[in-house]
């Protein structure tokens, strides 16, 4: 595994928006297809909607709308109708990637967890964590657990 790239690409880009339906209208006009619509993410006090490219289902956009004033995206939307929330990087070893980012100065924003509304069977087995790095801003990582013992203490 050491010769293999740890980060293998992007998983999705997430937009924070005040109006899921308005954002969805633009994305569908751009060729995206609705897969998951306004599911509640209680932990983040938000709705999540997921769309995929009609020509490349690996290209995913996540739409996050506040469910109330204390949403994970409320502060981002104080002066904007919508904005990029985060990029999500896919890794082939979640815990190793998480540790590497922490060693590079990232801090964990959300503890590692299962993906609440997985798009694929693989996503159903992945973990995710939101992190912050001063040179990248808010980001998310997702990927499989390669060594379950590596996750202890994270």
Q: What is the CATH number of the domain that holds 99?
A: 3.10.180.10
What ranges in 19-81 are assigned the alpha helix state H? 20-29
In a domain, residue 1? The reply is no
Host H or E run for residue 4: none
Q: Quick: pLDDT tens for 17-48.
A: 999 999 999 999 999 999 999 999 999 999 99
Quote the pTM value: 0.88
Q: At which residue do the structure tokens 């981002």 appear?
A: 76
Torsion of CA 140, 126, 9, 50, to 10 degrees: -70
Q: Quick: pLDDT tens for 73-131.
A: 999 999 999 999 999 999 999 999 999 999 999 999 999 999 999 999 999 999 999 99
Q: Tell whether the torsion through CA atoms of 94, 14, 27 and 48 is positive or negative.
A: positive
Q: How many CB atoms lie within 10 A of CB 121?
A: 7
In a domain, residue 2? The reply is no
Q: Which domain holds residue 115?
A: 7-151
In a domain, residue 137? The reply is yes
Domain count for the chain, please give it.
1
In a domain, residue 99? The reply is yes
Q: Which of 111, 112, 105, 109 is nearest to 135 (CA)?
A: 105
């Amino acid at each position: 595994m050491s010769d293999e790239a740890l980060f293998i690409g992007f998983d999705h880009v997430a937009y924070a928006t005040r109006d899921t339906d308005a954002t969805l209208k633009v994305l569908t006009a751009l060729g995206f297809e609705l897969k998951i619509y306004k599911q509640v993410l209680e932990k983040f006090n938000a709705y999540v909607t997921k769309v995929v490219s009609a020509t490349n289902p690996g290209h995913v956009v996540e739409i996050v709308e506040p469910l109330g004033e204390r949403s994970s995206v409320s502060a981002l939307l104080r002066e904007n109708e919508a904005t990029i929330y985060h990029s999500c990087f896919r890794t082939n070893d979640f815990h190793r990637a998480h540790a590497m980012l922490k060693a590079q100065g990232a801090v964990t924003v959300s503890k590692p967890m299962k993906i609440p509304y997985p798009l694929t069977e693989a996503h159903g087995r992945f973990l995710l964590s939101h992190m912050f790095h001063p040179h990248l801003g808010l980001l998310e990582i997702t990927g499989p657990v390669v060594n379950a013992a590596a996750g202890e203490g994270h």
